[in-house]
């Protein structure tokens, strides 16, 4: 298998530029931000949580012991390439029942996750179930999630020195 380094560029050319602005607006309009994804998508959202915390946001990763109950006016960001991951769908439903806003990152615009979300960003990448000659099991989706999330944090415009001051020092 040969990796196609141009593949991410192709994916990002298909994402509307307004998507990062919409993500930034969602982050700016909620005091508390919750994130969840299963497997590798979850790992990408953990990296996003770290960056958001460094940007001064109140952020929680669903499943951690210190994560409080989600409430009305909170934001839940979910990632699932297929948009049908059972735990992701369950959390979307719970968040909606509590009056929270659900924001989805998915590769499937017509998925169950997309239909349960208030906002959706479609990252048009192969999923783990897709056949791809240049990637393994959804790698492009996870890479696209990470890059999209980093672009969103960059768009927030937080001062680098302030972010460095919030970086973990118990390493």
| 78-105 tens-digit pLDDT | 999 999 999 999 999 999 999 999 999 9
On whether residue 3 sits in a domain, the answer given is: no
- State the residue range of the domain holding 109: 8-157
In a domain, 41, yes or no: yes
> Is 14 annotated as catalytic?
no
Q: Is residue 164 in some structural domain?
A: no
Residue 1 in any domain: the answer is: no
Residue 168 lies in a domain: no
169 is a domain residue: no
- On the question of pLDDT at 133 being above 80, the answer is no
Query: Domain of 113: which CATH number?
Result: 3.40.50.10490
The string of pLDDT tens digits covering residues 48-71 is 999 999 999 999 999 999 999 999
Report which of 128, 136, 125 is spatially closest to residue 2, judged by C-alpha positions: 136
Kindly report the pTM of this predicted structure: 0.90
CA distance 42 to 142: 9
Inform me whether the pLDDT recorded for 129 exceeds 70. Answer: no
**Does residue 48 sit within a domain?**
yes
Candidates 14, 142, 158, 171; catalytic one: 142
If one counts the domains in the chain, the total is 1
Is residue 130, in this structure, part of any structural domain at all? yes
- Predicted pLDDT of residue 145: 93
């Amino acid at each position: 298998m040969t990796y196609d380094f141009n593949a991410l560029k192709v994916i990002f050319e298909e994402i509307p530029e307004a998507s990062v602005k919409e993500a930034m607006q969602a982050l700016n309009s909620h005091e508390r931000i919750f994130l969840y994804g299963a497997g590798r998508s979850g790992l990408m959202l953990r990296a996003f949580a770290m960056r958001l915390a460094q940007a001064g946001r109140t952020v929680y990763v669903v499943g951690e012991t210190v994560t409080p109950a989600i409430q009305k006016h909170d934001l839940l960001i979910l990632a699932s390439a297929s948009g049908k991951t059972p735990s992701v769908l369950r959390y979307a439903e719970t968040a909606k029942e509590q009056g929270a806003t659900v924001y989805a990152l998915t590769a499937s615009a017509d998925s169950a996750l997309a239909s349960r979300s208030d906002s959706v960003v479609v990252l048009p990448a192969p999923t783990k179930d897709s056949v791809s000659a240049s990637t393994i099991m959804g790698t492009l989706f996870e890479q696209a999630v990470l890059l999209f999330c980093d672009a969103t944090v960059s768009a927030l415009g937080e001062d680098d020195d302030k972010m460095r001051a919030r970086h973990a020092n118990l390493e």
